[in-house]
Chain A
Amino acid sequence: SQQGEEDPQALSIQEGENATMNCSYKTSINNLQWYRQNSGRGLVHLILIRSNEREKHSGRLRVTLDTSKKSSSLLITASRAADTASYFCATDASGTYKYIFGTGTRLKVLA
């Protein structure tokens, strides 16, 4: 079974709006990572947040981590059409470094 599960499965917003995606996982982790994928090929790393961190920022991206709830969220502010992609979270059960991906959120940003 997947370690991480994202919701919503699909999200459609207007350009300029914010997009929020959530990830829940099952076991304690070393870190949680968010990736973007275009056209079903290679994934691109966005942000890594460690288990002792609560929030990280990178440009228009903000990631939060709540280890008590075993959940994370990815916020994309001021979205652009180019942000249209699938977004995945990946987690590793503590001590394993075996990264398991969730099922993804398909984001569509309408111009």
Chain B
Amino acid sequence: GAGVSQTPSNKVTEKGKYVELRCDPISGHTALYWYRQSLGQGPEFLIYFQGTGAADDSGLPNDRFFAVRPEGSVSTLKIQRTERGDSAVYLCASSPSNNSPLHFGNGTRLTVT
């Protein structure tokens, strides 16, 4: 079946611009996670949804970052006033339930120039 889909696969934007990154989880998966990963580092937790609500958003670095999942399926990560330090690969994962493996998408590579 279809896996986790992330769009776009690559995004180049100028410093100060607004970007939206989209994640389509596997159908029926209730849990959805966002991570970001810099070169040579492990994935850094950003936010975790259970259904429509953010169960834990403690990893969002500041108020320029916001994520939504209005219908409990597709999620959008929104970054305002992008900075060069936001450049990274943003990974999305979904899971059918707690205590289950995470299924990752291929990520969106964000480059802020």
Contact = CB atoms under 8 A, between A and B. Distances in A.
With most chain B CB atoms within 10 A of its CB, the pick from A42, A50, A98, A102 is: A42
Interface residues of B, number: 29
Given A42-B91, A42-B107, A97 B55 contact: yes
B91 A40 contact: no
Contacts of A41: 89, 106-107
B101 A48 contact: yes
Contacts of B44: 101
B42 A50 contact: no
A35 B34 CA distance: 16
| Category for how many chain A residues contact B | 20 to 34
With most chain B CB atoms within 10 A of its CB, the pick from A35, A48, A101 is: A101
A81 interface: no
A102 B44 CA distance: 9
A35 B104 CA distance: 10
Given A30-B99, A88-B42, A96 B91 contact: no
B31 interface: yes
A58 to B, nearest CB: 12
Contacts of A102: 42
Contacts of B87: none
A99 B102 contact: yes
Interface in A14-70: 30-31, 33, 35, 40-45, 48, 50
A45 B42 contact: no
A33 B93 CA distance: 14
A12 interface: no
With most chain A CB atoms within 10 A of its CB, the pick from B39, B42, B55, B106 is: B42
A31 B106 contact: no
6 contacts: A40-B89, A42-B106, A43-B91, A45-B102, A98-B45, A103-B42
Please provide the 3 A-B residue pairs with the shortest distance between their CB atoms, ordered closest to farther: A45-B101, A101-B42, A42-B104
